[in-house]
Amino acid sequence: MFFGISHLVLPVTDLEQSASLWRDVMGFGEAQRGEGFVDMDTGSATLRLAQVQSVEARVSLRLQVADVEQAYARLLAAGALSRYAPMQTSALEAMACVSDADGHSIVLWRALTEDEWGFVPELPKQGQWLPEAEELLKRLLTHVPALFRMLARRKTTRVIERLAKEAKSPVTRDLVIKGYITASAKITRFRLVEPLRAEGIDPDQYRAEFDEE
């Protein structure tokens, strides 16, 4: 019965000025225009800029961007007013906010990468780990690109704990190394050589794990 949100309506007092902001500064395309409105294709929902005599209620829009500081500076240069400068939030986001000519809030945000968090997440471990084993895995995981690190953390921890269960042993440094290698697809394991060497580990001692199907 309900198909989802097709349009968000933004009341504006200067239609062409607002259209220019969203089109020329932010880079969104016009979907269509008609008497008293311009529809902007934002990539997720259509933003309808609707001409009004005066704005009775201001709204706030959250706009996901690749670079908060760059987007913030660009909007300020186009005449937007700052509400707050770029900052990092407790929700692990980078965020800034400006007001357009009608006082509507435009919040600029992006999720922080794990490298920007300022702390190392705990491993999703369940079994018993020796402290040096846990610290080794945390260091090895820093070599995984941040975009894929959460998935790698979960998978590698699971594989290591399976090896420990089979060995009827707490997680040791040796089991971490074996699990770190075998949790990766065989075709990409060559990428693990340098991280292991950086930890003083000889990859040749784990040739069986590198060759495991």
Q: Which of 184, 117, 191, 113 is nearest to 153 (CA)?
A: 184
**Structure tokens that stand for 76 in this block:** 């300020």
Residue 61 C-alpha from the chain's centroid = 19
Q: Which of 134, 86, 78, 88 is nearest to 115 (CA)?
A: 88
DSSP 8-state code for residue 123: P
Instruction: List phi, psi (to 5°) of 145.
Output: -50, 140
97 near 84, Cβ under 8 Å? yes
DSSP character string of 5-29: --EEEEEES-HHHHHHIIIIIT-PE
pTM of the model: 0.78
**pLDDT tens by residue, the chain, 213 residues:** 888 888 999 999 999 999 999 999 999 999 999 999 999 999 888 999 999 999 999 999 999 999 999 999 999 999 999 999 999 999 999 999 999 999 999 999 999 999 999 888 999 999 999 999 999 999 999 999 998 999 999 999 999 999 999 999 999 999 999 999 999 999 999 999 999 999 999 999 999 999 998
Domains of the chain: 7-112 (3.10.180.10), 131-211 (no CATH)
